[in-house]
Structure 1
Amino acid sequence: MVYYLLSIAADLDNLTDLQPRGGCDDPTYPYYFKVKCEGCGETSLKESCVMLSEQVPLSTGKGVAHLVQKCKLCGREGNVQMITGHGQPLTLQQSQREEYGKLMIFDSRGFEPTDFSFADGWKAQSIAGTSFDVDLSTGEFAEYDDKGKHPVGIVNVRAKFSIVRRKDRQGRKDSFI
């Protein structure tokens, strides 16, 4: 099993705390990404959708996952399980330092997640305290904060998947490095 951390970065203008609308562990937020088969190396043409609120049984009948699908080329089955409790909003300070914020960890078996797609369903807060619903499907967001009397915006959104491992190799703790 391999654990993949999805991290996001963006250039935030007078905004902070960018995250899915219901928080980083929002059960209704759909994560869209492509998967690469670890068997044959084929990358899916279409994006897969993974949500905490949706689980499907494994073909073995032993357990469930948030995504179960077969590779279109070789027929190998893979699955993805989401691991909650590790995501944090992307802050203005992280943006200014050009750092990535941790969003979600995926336990992936048979597939490697790639090419995360930003969509609608995000939120951010202005430095004046105004909350904004954010649609990142076009890769940017621009608005005006009447309360703070300044423009707000998000550009240069990017995401990456990186391999992480558990601190406790026996799996007793859900902490990662």
Structure 2
Amino acid sequence: MVNFMLMISAELENLTNLQPQGGCDDPDFSYLFKLKCGRCGELSQKETCLVLNDTVPLPVGKGTTHLIQKCKFCGRDGTVTMIQGRGKPLTQEITEAGKFAPLMLFDCRGYEPVDFVFGVGWKVESLEGTKFDNVDLSSGDFADYDEKGECPVMISNLRATFEVK
């Protein structure tokens, strides 16, 4: 069992508190990333989608997980379970310090998450308090204008990494 924390970073211009639309533990937010088999190292061809609300029963014992998948190359089964309560929004202070913010913790057995894909369903607010909902980061950036603060706002240089915890 290895826990991987998804860490995100970006350049935030006149913005703060970047996070999934319903908060860091948004039950409907889709996490998209590729998986690498822990046995043979095979990388999944397509992104895997995990959602906090979607669980499946474990094949042995009691409990649930968010993903059970068999490696197409070596046939080994693996699971990925999301662990709530560890994520924090990406703030202006974290960005200015050149650091990453924790978003979601994954308990991985037999797999390692790699290559997180930023997609739709994000929210962010301007330093003046204007809220921007349902932000689409699939193109790698976001730009708008904050009429209340009378300034441009932008998200760029999106980065994600998985840290072993």
Determine if the alignment matches structure 1 residue 31 to structure 2 residue 31: yes
Unpaired runs of 5+ residues, structure 1, are 165-177
Deviation (angstroms), 1:91: 0.3
Q: Partners of 2:65 and 2:91 in 1: how far apart?
A: 30
| Aligned twin of 2:150 | 149
| Aligned twin of 1:112 | 112
TM-score normalised according to structure 1 size: 0.91
Unpaired runs of 5+ residues, structure 2, are none
| 3-state secondary structure, aligned to 2:121 | strand
Aligned residues: 164
Deviation (angstroms), 1:59: 2.5
Give per-residue Cα distances to partners, 1:140-159, cap 9 Å, x unaligned: 00000011100000000000
Q: Over aligned residues, Cα RMSD in angstroms? A: 0.8
Aligned partner letter, 2:77: E
Deviation (angstroms), 1:98: 1.1
| Aligned twin of 1:137 | 138
Runs of 4+ in structure 1 displaced over 6 angstroms? none
Q: Partners of 2:62 and 2:73 in 1: how far apart?
A: 25
Aligned partner letter, 1:162: E
| Aligned twin of 1:124 | 124
| 3-state secondary structure, aligned to 1:93 | helix
Q: Partners of 2:63 and 2:110 in 1: how far apart?
A: 16
Give per-residue Cα distances to partners, 1:24-57, cap 9 Å, x unaligned: 0000001000000001110101010111100012
| Residue pairs, 1:1-177, within 5 angstroms | 1-60=1-60, 62-133=62-133, 134-164=135-165
Give per-residue Cα distances to partners, 1:122-152, cap 9 Å, x unaligned: 0000011000021100010000001110000
